[in-house]
Amino acid sequence: MSQRKNDGALFSSTNTVEVRHKFDASADLLFEAWTTPGKIEEWWGPEGYTVRVASLELRIGSGFVFEMTSPNGSSCVMTGTWISIERPRRLAFELLTHCNLELPAGVPEQLEPALVVVQFLTHRDGCEVVLTHGPVLRGYDTVAAMSWRQVLSSIRITPDLNPSHPPARHSPTRRATRNTRVS
């Protein structure tokens, strides 16, 4: 990757975040939680944030607009375009605008689009969600990983999604990878 300018700083690395989370729920139910506006509003966003799904059309080439509000009342819009929809195994979208609210000092804003891939891997005892997000800027990758961990741990499979089972149990794991190339 060639160097990219972002807010006056040069970056020469490609960072990819991977977050994994296991659920005691089916891939179908988790896919539904990711693609139903009312369900998304229950769990999307870092801890303390609220979200309103302004629009969501689940069709390749279409997209979504999420209005996110931080605990202090600041808000931002997150938008994306669907690239792949393989019910119930995989979702992929280009995240066009990131929510850059309340970034820690020294963390650059992610202004460039990035690819997010969400895989739903069925196991004997439930489903593992594997999310990758990249490329993201060095420094932003840590914030993105933390946010995605919080997001995934917030998903609850509620009785209206799965009337015959209790809410999903979950256990998070995380791995951030960095592939560096200098031009």
**pLDDT per residue as tens, the chain (183 positions):** 334 444 434 444 569 999 999 999 999 999 999 999 999 999 998 889 999 999 999 999 999 999 999 999 999 999 999 999 999 999 999 999 999 999 999 999 999 999 999 999 999 999 999 999 999 999 999 999 999 999 999 998 765 554 444 444 333 433 333 332 322
CATH number, residue 107: 3.30.530
Quick one: tokens of 79? Answer: 């938008």
* Nearest residue to 77 via CA among 100, 56, 44, 58: 100
Residue 51 lies in a domain: no
> Is the full-model pTM beyond 0.85?
no
Residue 45 lies in a domain: no
How far is it, in rounded angstroms, from Cα 103 to Cα 139? 10
Residue 55 lies in a domain: no
Range(s) of the domain holding residue 16: 4-36+82-180
Residue 54 lies in a domain: no
Residue 64 lies in a domain: no
Q: How many domains does the chain have?
A: 1
